[in-house]
Amino acid sequence: MDSTHNTESRRVDLDPQQPLALREVPSGAVALGGIAVLLLLIAWILIYLLIYLPRGMIG
């Protein structure tokens, strides 16, 4: 049994009606998620560098 046959049969077993678009890696979703997370990270770093650090020490 080769891996090709194994993968193909498992997919069919799971959902034979699965749309073709969902069988591929959803690169658009990855791009959208990646951009959203990257924007959040950039916002966090900007607040850290431009607001939190200049406001001085506490403790």
Give the residues lining the site for other proteins (CB under 8 A): 3-4, 7-8, 10-11, 23-25, 30, 33-34, 37, 41, 44-45, 48, 52-53, 55-59
| Beta carbon of residue 31, minimum distance to other proteins (angstroms, whole number) | 11
Distance CA 25, CA 31 (A): 11
Distance CA 37, CA 3 (A): 34
Nearer to other proteins among residue 4 and residue 17 (C-beta): 4
| Beta carbon of residue 20, minimum distance to other proteins (angstroms, whole number) | 10
